[in-house]
Amino acid sequence: MTKTVLILPGTALIYIPVLIQRFSERWRFGVSVGTRLHYTVAAMLAVPALVFAANTMKLFAHDGHGTPAPWDPPQKFVISGPYRFVRNPMLSSVILMILAEAVALNSPLLISWALVFFLLNTVCFIFVEEPELKRRFGEEYLRHKAAVLRWVPMLRPYEPSGANGS
């Protein structure tokens, strides 16, 4: 799991944002760039996103018997917890964390990175991940896909018919 955290979220949340900020000349290491309001809003985005990410990774390990990484995918289809409200809560949390970084650092370029990250993942989900989930999990996945939106959380949880929700 550590390798997954270092490679996947590490790239999106640390390596690329540091490069963007470093080469934008708007930020130098060790220089405070935000205001108290920036940091407050950033924390309001980051804390729930971190909790959300930790919860979804735990569900992948516990309920799915795998990780978010393509080299160790879940063996069981996960439709518990936040997956009952939105199909991609893990990526939603990463996008919220990128936005928190953008607010804390007062960086329009990081907001752009959040948009690029969202678009790249949307294309990847549509053309790679969703067909793979259909192949691996069949009807269970197709029912979930038909009932739960990809990015926008629903107000009422998805109730899998004839399943225990995990």
Domain that holds residue 44: 34-147
pLDDT band with cut points at 50, 70 and 90 for residue 105: confident
Residue 118 lies in a domain: yes
Residue 131 lies in a domain: yes
What is the DSSP annotation of 93-160? HHHHHHHHHHHHTT-HHHHHHHHHHHHHHHHHIIIIIHHHHHHHHHHHHHHHHHHS-SSSPPSS----
Give the pLDDT score at 134. 96
* AA identity, residue 85: F
Residue 16 lies in a domain: no
CA trace torsion 89, 76, 159, 119 (10° rounding): 30
Report percent pLDDT > 70 for the chain.
Answer: 86
Report percent pLDDT > 90 for the chain.
Answer: 57
Helix (H) or strand (E) run with residue 51 in it: helix 36-62
At 42-96, the pLDDT tens digits run: 999 999 999 988 898 899 889 999 887 777 888 999 999 999 999 999 889 999 9
Instruction: Note if the pTM is more than 0.85.
Output: no
The maximal CA–CA distance of the chain, rounded, in angstroms, is 56
Residue 100 lies in a domain: yes
Residue 85 lies in a domain: yes
At 5-29, the pLDDT tens digits run: 445 677 888 888 888 888 876 555 5
The single residue listed with the structure tokens 């007062």 is 106
Residue 63 lies in a domain: yes
Instruction: Share the mean pLDDT of the chain.
Output: 85
Residue 165 lies in a domain: no
